[in-house]
Structure 1
């Protein structure tokens, strides 16, 4: 149905415009200038230089879009969709709205692909190229919970990138349909198609001139510009992210400015990438563009920003997949602080917080050995104090977990998938320390036998036999009475062997399957925890490990003093664990 020309009266009620002969003639004369477009978007139906319709040969050579995959290779499209659902939907949602099941424990929030506010772009119109999206998959986004995906090859990166663009297209279509319904109109298909094309077609690449090597004079000029242009209002005068401005992003969520001295850049930190980011800003974020600056001024700002951190600091912020080799030995000590462990090589693995914070241990050291029968892992990380209280409800405990998987492509990093069970080993500082009685933690505790008293009264009845918590019947402690493995026991196991199929499904294995042993030691501001378990276990007891073969592992750390618990934690990406052959 054709769109009817309408207007609104002062009360906001839509009325039809009467069409008289004179008005009709005027409209016919002015029609080329009055083609209606929704939301005032300029509409130029002619093909542009970057429009694939203007160069069919170039379009045919480009990466296939999901639409083409649907028409020409349905199997490839299904594989791409399945890959997205398996690896991406846990955070970004099945339809790309950024509301996956893991999104509630992530900050910054996962990107809403449908809204199209992609931060890292190299184009003048803020629409990412396929290569822009591929680069995010390759590198991840430091300073967020978006990890790199080294286990996925570049062809599948490109297919995922095209799928993300299709999610953006679908978001535009549905938004247009919703707006039309709100106005009581039928959607105009031609207009929707044109708008989708306009909002998903990358503009020309931002031109980066030949950048001169950084020098003291350029850095000084950049510092002056940094202060003059107001960069310090957000990033702070010294670049430490401590400016006075309180920033929010396009979604209205907090968008704290980056501490530039820590070397954490969401995108690449080569001079050309930073040049583009300063010039174009970061769409959807509080980072504005600086298009009024001259190229030389932008180059000076680039040199100043890079001078606030060194190359080693910047390199250390990027998560990499490491190889952890479990050496063949005859025996090992159970004591995590034994010098034996220091004599074995450690693999340094980068950590990232799921709920971002500036202060956290940046890495964890992993040492691994085996004797052909069992595997032992020593995991070590910095922690300024031990947190191991099990009784105080306002306190949280330090903990570490290792998840294992064996297969060609790991399932979703965030606790696995329905058809791919993860094997999880966990150590909890509170379980090792044991559970003291309430009376030890709260020595002033009282028993009040007067239910209507307005104040607590220390009763002599408290000293009678049977009033202390240790004397209570198991029937009053439901979890303990049911034999729940989460209840710590005086001489019970410290370790926990668990399994997970997706976020929210983590569960203890039955007691006969609790085959993991652990022991932790805190000393000198550092936790050292040793796990060990037989290499070969039953199908329901975990992942069996074979010398000469690799398994995938990832780690998680909880810092009780930072109130970490459940999904609020530090994690690594998947790593490769290889057992040295006999």
Structure 2
């Protein structure tokens, strides 16, 4: 996989262009309503009314929970769903009812707290926004999730300055030079040991939550907040802390000190950063063209409308691609999607367990109400187009993988050292001379083992975790190219 270099430094910054194409001949065409427009789909995070729990609402919540939430949080709510081992931070345990985002002196969430988390999601984790669900459905989830607690709880919903109830946020004082100096002093005394002196999360290196899972202090300079980055929300977060995590309650700061810290924390990131990490739902429209170009730099791509999607890793890390630029074109017969992201590394092998190759996948559901976003669900298939960088590199005659990483490994054939890599026999020369029946993967129809494979892409299907399958070679209808 080649890259367009944007800058030269110790770490080479680059942009990866990837185009995925598929024929539409077998697809049912739908005429998009003219009123549909590309862009962010409006959402409302706060409810218009509060719905009390009822047997009917809890039953509805259970149905939606099993479809949307159980794969991560577990059917029983223990936080040990099928996907939990893939995620960091770990899914919340609803049985113990130890919630991180709370606004009360008792350090328990109100129903509105839970509703807001469901609606907004949790940036910095795999918890998505469910704001596209209607209000009643979100309230149903609130009450069902609460019903999973081993010890049911209720909280006082009146605002108070101490004791019990919702933490009452006092009047906001001016943030002048004196307040800033006080905030810096407080931060160094109470926060820097974990978050670091400049808020980069580089204080304590090893931390664990109450379940013994490793955790890490938030890098406040990135603008990624578990809870909403509103001033009042951050104020309550400072006072109540994050129950179950190393972030303690700081009721000693109630009053002006917590306000000064709130302003100081917000000053470490920009409003643009904080807005960018909000998880939103986008509508991407494919523009019709006469002919889809082969190269991602072609002029027709430059004219196409694009969308910038903010990426959240399933396993949190700081060195991650943040923005994915997406464009789509079609000519009535083929659909092409261009993905572009910045990447400072050139990862085209995954030989060692610690290696991660460059790759990209696009998942489709052919129904109006899509199944679970993590590879679908049993009985409801999703179609996945996937490109992997080492598959593309493997098509190049001079590509080396195992022998490049481990140059002294025993191999089946030895190159003529008097000749260049391009003059050597092709990688699959001996395989092509063999009967496929005696080459296990090839004989079984594994498209990756097929030495005649021409594309680095795969056309896959799944109906839940552990069910991902490549479609037969005759049905492989996706082309991809990374540049």
Supply the distance in 1 between the matched residues of 2:430 and 2:476 (Cα, whole angstroms): 28
The alignment status of 1:216 with 2:168, answered yes or no, reads no
Supply the distance in 1 between the matched residues of 2:137 and 2:122 (Cα, whole angstroms): 19
SS in 2 for 1:375: strand
CA 1:355 to 1:394, structure 2 compared with 1: closer, same or farther past 3 Å?
closer
How far 1:261 sits from its partner (Å)?
0.8
Counterpart residue number, 2:357: 397
Counterpart residue number, 1:327: 287
Supply the distance in 2 between the matched residues of 1:502 and 1:213 (Cα, whole angstroms): 53
Q: Which has the higher helix share?
A: 1
**Contact (CA 8 Å) 1:418, 1:501: kept in 2 or not?**
yes
**Contact (CA 8 Å) 2:220, 2:265: kept in 1 or not?**
yes
RMSD over aligned Cα, in angstroms?
A: 2.5
Question: In structure 2, which of residues 155, 176, 199 is the aligned counterpart of residue 201 of structure 1?
Answer: 155
How far 1:252 sits from its partner (Å)?
1.5
How far 1:486 sits from its partner (Å)?
2.3
Question: In structure 2, which of residues 280, 286, 302 is the aligned counterpart of residue 342 of structure 1?
Answer: 302
**Contact (CA 8 Å) 2:239, 2:254: kept in 1 or not?**
no
Counterpart residue number, 1:108: 89
How far 1:213 sits from its partner (Å)?
4.7
Supply the distance in 2 between the matched residues of 1:393 and 1:258 (Cα, whole angstroms): 27
**Contact (CA 8 Å) 1:327, 1:368: kept in 2 or not?**
yes
The alignment status of 1:424 with 2:384, answered yes or no, reads yes
Which structure is larger by alpha-carbon Rg, 1 or 2? 1
How far 1:393 sits from its partner (Å)?
7.3
Within-5 A mapping of 1:99-498? 99-168=80-149, 171-172=150-151, 196=152, 199-202=153-156, 203-229=164-190, 231-244=191-204, 246-389=206-349, 395-434=355-394, 436=399, 441=404, 444-446=408-410, 470-471=429-430, 473=434, 474=436, 477-487=439-449, 489-498=451-460
Supply the distance in 1 between the matched residues of 2:143 and 2:353 (Cα, whole angstroms): 48
TM-score (norm 2): 0.79
Structure 2, unmatched stretches of 5+, are: 1-48, 157-163, 413-424
**Contact (CA 8 Å) 1:352, 1:362: kept in 2 or not?**
yes
Provide, for residues 309-339 of structure 1, a one-character-per-residue CA deviation record: whole Å limited to 9, x for no partner: 1111111111111121211111121112334
Supply the distance in 2 between the matched residues of 1:444 and 1:120 (Cα, whole angstroms): 53
- Aligned positions, number: 409
Counterpart residue number, 2:160: none
How far 1:443 sits from its partner (Å)?
5.9
CA 1:479 to 1:300, structure 2 compared with 1: closer, same or farther past 3 Å?
same
Provide, for residues 497-526 of structure 1, a one-character-per-residue CA deviation record: whole Å limited to 9, x for no partner: 1111001111011122111111111xxxxx
Provide, for residues 9-64 of structure 1, a one-character-per-residue CA deviation record: whole Å limited to 9, x for no partner: xxxxxxxxxxxxxxxxxxxxxxxxxxxxxxxxxxxxxxxxxxxxxxxxxxxx9633
Supply the distance in 1 between the matched residues of 2:243 and 2:232 (Cα, whole angstroms): 18
SS in 1 for 2:392: helix
Supply the distance in 2 between the matched residues of 1:126 and 1:149 (Cα, whole angstroms): 24
Counterpart residue number, 2:15: none
Supply the distance in 1 between the matched residues of 2:248 and 2:475 (Cα, whole angstroms): 55
SS in 1 for 2:235: helix
SS in 2 for 1:297: helix
Supply the distance in 1 between the matched residues of 2:463 and 2:64 (Cα, whole angstroms): 17
The alignment status of 1:517 with 2:479, answered yes or no, reads yes
The alignment status of 1:64 with 2:52, answered yes or no, reads yes
**Contact (CA 8 Å) 1:218, 1:304: kept in 2 or not?**
no
How far 1:437 sits from its partner (Å)?
6.6
